[in-house]
Amino acid sequence: MSEYSEMALPNDANPLGDLLGGHVMHLVDMAGALAAMRHARRPVVTAAVDHMTFLHPVRIGQLLVLRSSVNRAFRTSMEVGVRVEVEDLTTGEIRHTSSAYLTFVALDDEGKPAPVPPVIPETPEQKRRYEEAGRRRTYRLEMKEKARLKQT
């Protein structure tokens, strides 16, 4: 489990004065890459991001806490789950604001996909995530194929 925290600052606000959704997406990518690189011990690139939902606005001054873990490793790719919580530092209230699944691919010294170690799930929660990651991968690769066919 990796953790990444950042305070929402005015530079990253939208015209309404809350945090830009795109900034949260950037942090999700960073937090996901952190977990993937720790697992692979190699540079990684983002191959896919599944859909994201924003459940609450993030106010400037609140603390974003992102937790990420590798659900499953395939050959050169890994599915990482990222959960975003927001802490109001003045009240201590913590709210879940977003979750996402991302796929990262590890690269070798030539920039080609490189094999990664397997994830061995132990707890019932890890086993559930592992199984679900396999189903999501099938769907993702189908979507990739459809997008490829549209381009040809």
Ligand X SMILES: CC(C)(COP(=O)(O)OP(=O)(O)OC[C@H]1O[C@@H](n2cnc3c(N)ncnc32)[C@H](O)[C@@H]1OP(=O)(O)O)[C@@H](O)C(=O)NCCC(=O)NCCS
User: Cα–Cα distances in Å, from 44 out to 87, 100, 112?
Assistant: 29, 17, 10
Among 64, 66, 86, 105, binds ligand X (CB under 6 A): 105
* Closer by beta carbon to ligand X, 3 or else 142: 142
Query: Which span sits near ligand X by CB under 6 A: 4-12, 45-53, 57-65, 126-134?
Result: 45-53
Residue from the set 20, 47, 60, 114 that interacts with ligand X by CB under 6 A? 47
How many other β-carbons are positioned within 10 Å of the β-carbon of residue 66? 23
Of the residues 45, 55, 89, 94, which one makes contact with ligand X according to CB under 6 A: 45
Residue 66 contacts ligand X per CB under 6 A: no
Task: Say if CB 78 and CB 106 are below 8 A apart.
Answer: yes
Place of tokens 């953790």: 3
Amino acid identity, position 84: V
CB of 114 to ligand X, least distance (A): 9
